[in-house]
Copies of this chain bind each other. A is one copy, B any other.
Amino acid sequence: MIKVGIVGGAGYTAGELIRLLVNHSDVEISFIHSTSHAGCPITQVHEGLYGDTDLTFTDELPLAAIDCLFICSGHGKSKEFMASHQIPEKLKIVDFSQDYRLETEKNKFVYGLPELNKDAIAAAQYIANPGCFATCIQLGLLPLAANNLLAGDIIVNAITGSTGAGVKPGETTHFSWRDNNLSIYKPFVHQHLPEIKQSIAQLQNTFDSDIIFVPFRGDFPRGIFASIIVNCNEDVEELYRLYDSFYQTSPFVYPIRTNIDLKQVVNTNKCLIHLERHGGKLLIASCIDNLLKGASGTAVQNMNLLFGLPETEGLKLKPSAF
């Protein structure tokens, strides 16, 4: 059994991670750390877990007792955590924040998108789990980059669910406001653009155009749906062959000939991709569950790779469908 600990245990991604790990046959959760909720039963904070766990949050951090640590503390907090704690030599870490996603000389974390870096992840100790928008958009674009087919500006409109905004309630996550509403936020400058560009450059370093990204707040809790427009004159069937080939060892990514919709992936670790070309423009539709493939699902997939388990272990989930 892999013994795992979770830091930042009261947030949405930690909750989702716990919902996965309680049914993972190779994992035992050793502790779930939360300073704000220490002593409180997990089931009172995280929806849907009655009967699945008797654990309570703790403010202790027995890092020496675990094999793998998940850091769910939020952006900026992971660097603080790494700097202020003695990390046991063999402890593997999956970090959910954006603190370590960009490569630098000093950064020991591997960018944890399994569809891009599977071998490096399997050989790594520290993983920087990708951003949710970044995952959905990259999975739509990487096969093109791998074939040097990206040329010209890329226009992305992508819509995320309210869980993307985190557990802390605010004006734009108030039900009265969000229900049946839509709005744009951070157009052109969303923080996930750098990691997307980094991955594209890894596959097609000649790409020097812009990525125009318009993120939307959607009126649903789970999921990201991206509409990506790129210049392209390839035959669509040929494109599907490239996508199928690129993802042939990726158990969760499905290029689909028929139209897709968001609820096909909700409560699963899947990514569905659909292509339509008209004249010189290709539309790539890509969707994921932001809390699973966009966060905790990929985190478990990365843990599976780190420990030599089948990638799908603990991730064959019943879709909610409705």
Q: Are B227 and A216 interface neighbours, CB within 8 A? A: yes
Cβ contacts A210-226/B at 8 Å (1 or 0 each): 10101010111111010
A50 to chain B: closest residue by CB: B254
Q: Are B187 and A212 interface neighbours, CB within 8 A? A: no
The one of B23, B175, B180, B268 that contacts A48, using a Cβ cutoff of 8 Å: B268
Does A320 have its Cβ within 8 Å of any Cβ on chain B? yes
Q: Are B185 and A259 interface neighbours, CB within 8 A? A: yes
Q: Are B47 and A177 interface neighbours, CB within 8 A? A: yes
Does A99 have its Cβ within 8 Å of any Cβ on chain B? no
Does A37 have its Cβ within 8 Å of any Cβ on chain B? no
Does A159 have its Cβ within 8 Å of any Cβ on chain B? yes
Cβ contacts A288-306/B at 8 Å (1 or 0 each): 0001000000000000000
Cβ contacts A86-124/B at 8 Å (1 or 0 each): 000000000000000000000000000000000000000
Please tell me how many copies of the chain the complex holds.
4
- Using a CB–CB cutoff of 8 Å, the interface residues on chain A facing chain B are 12, 15-16, 19-20, 23, 44, 46-51, 153, 155, 157, 159, 161-163, 167, 169-171, 173-185, 187-189, 210, 212, 214, 216, 218-223, 225, 227, 229, 251-252, 254, 256, 258-268, 270, 272, 274, 276, 278-279, 281, 283, 285, 287, 291, 316-322
Q: Are B183 and A163 interface neighbours, CB within 8 A? A: no
Q: Are A263 and B181 interface neighbours, CB within 8 A? A: yes
> Could you show 23 A-B contacts with beta carbons less than 8 Å apart?
A44-B258, A47-B177, A47-B321, A50-B272, A161-B180, A162-B176, A167-B174, A169-B170, A169-B174, A179-B179, A179-B180, A179-B221, A180-B180, A182-B261, A183-B259, A184-B259, A184-B274, A184-B285, A188-B276, A216-B227, A222-B320, A267-B318, A267-B320
Q: Are A229 and B216 interface neighbours, CB within 8 A? A: no
Say whether, besides A175-B178, A175-B221, A318 and B261 are in contact (CB < 8 Å). no
A173 to chain B: closest residue by CB: B175
Chain B nearest CB from A7 CB (Å) reads 20
**What separation, in Å, do the CA atoms of A174 and B46 have in the docked complex?**
14
Q: Are B155 and A229 interface neighbours, CB within 8 A? A: yes
**What separation, in Å, do the CA atoms of A287 and B219 have in the docked complex?**
16
**What separation, in Å, do the CA atoms of A220 and B221 have in the docked complex?**
13
Say whether, besides A50-B254, A179-B220, A184 and B322 are in contact (CB < 8 Å). no
Task: Note all chain B residues with C-beta closer than 8 A to A258.
Answer: 44
**What separation, in Å, do the CA atoms of A306 and B227 have in the docked complex?**
41
A272 to chain B: closest residue by CB: B50
A48 to chain B: closest residue by CB: B319
Q: Are A212 and B229 interface neighbours, CB within 8 A? A: yes
**What separation, in Å, do the CA atoms of A1 and B33 have in the docked complex?**
41
Task: Note all chain B residues with C-beta closer than 8 A to A171.
Answer: 169
A178 to chain B: closest residue by CB: B175
The one of B23, B187, B263, B276 that contacts A47, using a Cβ cutoff of 8 Å: B263
Chain B nearest CB from A31 CB (Å) reads 21
Say whether, besides A46-B321, A176-B163, A283 and B23 are in contact (CB < 8 Å). no
